Amino acid sequence: MKRAAPATPVLFSTDPQPRLRAEIAPGAVHVPGWLTPEQQRELVEACRRWAAGPVPMRHTRLPNGGVMSVQTVCVGWHWRPYAYSRTAEDVNGARVAEFPGWMTELGRRALAAAYEDPAAGEGYAPDTALINFYDGAAKMGMHQDKDERSDAPVVSLSIGDTCVFRLGTTVGRTRPWTDIQLASGDLFVLGGPSRFAYHGVPRVHPGTADPASGLAGGRLNITMRVTGLTGV
């Protein structure tokens, strides 16, 4: 009688991308699985509320006449290419939702976790969050985030389908770059020399979301930023 081959012990498997905290580039830290499924579901609920209004989630219009394939809603400050404002003149003129205090706390804990330093989040005061929704076909081309007048870190949280995230250099949108997978619950912090690096999302893997995340399909990405702007 033939015996079944013994299962490969998981301790000896060669994982091409270990789900461990990793510094992808100086100041760019990936913390896989940082959010619990319950935290992911709570964030999905908050994003659903913001997506409904006062400024609805929609495809941002680009200055060249096109629209982004990603859908976006903002809190704190409304972003459109090259400008932040308190009202969404390119959507419905409404004032954006307040940036919630709990999100500031989440951002501070994110920095402490990413930089493995309990003090790293002290004083971090994000005042805007961009919430991006990717359906299976959405992508984001290589770009820099430089509409903020601050070099404070950006905190990114991913929920739902896994994507390929591409981190390039500060020099240009071409190679060299590093591709990593961002999965549901992952934290990514972009600070220090990586804050103004080119980056993008070339592809989402449809159907890879953990249903426990609260998203049946697609990918949500929340980025917290410090705009460096003042005013009511």
Question: Which residues of the chain form contacts with ligand MD3 (CB under 6 A)?
Answer: 130, 132, 140, 145, 154, 156, 188, 190, 194-195, 197, 199, 201, 221, 223
Segment interacting with Fe ion (CB under 5 A) among 9-17, 55-63, 138-146, 161-169: 138-146
Nearer to ligand MD3, 162 or 194 (CB): 194
Is 229 buried (19+), middle (13-18) or exposed (0-12) by CB count in 10 A? middle
DSSP annotation of 87: B
Nearer to ligand MD3, 78 or 199 (CB): 199
Q: Is 145 in the site for Fe ion (CB under 5 A)?
A: yes
**E runs forming strands in 145-215:** 154-160, 163-167, 178-182, 187-190, 199-204
Residue 24: CB minimum distance to Fe ion, A: 15
Q: How far apart are the C-alpha atoms of 162 and 203, rounded to whole Å?
A: 9
Nearer to ligand MD3, 10 or 108 (CB): 108
Instruction: Say which entry of ligand MD3, Fe ion, none residue 194 contacts (CB below 5 to 8 A, set by partner kind).
Output: ligand MD3
For residue 73, what are the β-bridge partners? 131
Query: Nearest to ligand MD3 by Cβ — which residue?
Result: 221
Amino acid letter, residue 69: S
Nearer to ligand MD3, 97 or 190 (CB): 190
Instruction: Say which entry of Fe ion, ligand MD3, none residue 188 contacts (CB below 5 to 8 A, set by partner kind).
Output: ligand MD3
CB 50 within 8 A of CB 128: no
Q: How far apart are the C-alpha atoms of 78 and 229, rounded to whole Å?
A: 12
Nearer to Fe ion, 115 or 198 (CB): 198
Q: How far apart are the C-alpha atoms of 72 and 133, rounded to whole Å?
A: 6
Residue 143: CB minimum distance to Fe ion, A: 6
Instruction: Say which entry of ligand MD3, Fe ion, none residue 221 contacts (CB below 5 to 8 A, set by partner kind).
Output: ligand MD3
Q: How many helices (H) and strands (E) does the chain have?
A: 2, 14
Instruction: Say which entry of ligand MD3, Fe ion, none residue 190 contacts (CB below 5 to 8 A, set by partner kind).
Output: ligand MD3
Segment interacting with Fe ion (CB under 5 A) among 63-71, 100-108, 143-151, 212-220: 143-151
Query: What is the Cβ-side half-sphere exposure of residue 226, based on CA atoms within 13 angstroms?
Result: 16
Instruction: Say which entry of Fe ion, ligand MD3, none residue 215 contacts (CB below 5 to 8 A, set by partner kind).
Output: none
Q: How far apart are the C-alpha atoms of 89 and 105, rounded to whole Å?
A: 30
Q: How far apart are the C-alpha atoms of 99 and 92, rounded to whole Å?
A: 19
| Contacting residues toward Fe ion, per CB under 5 A | 145
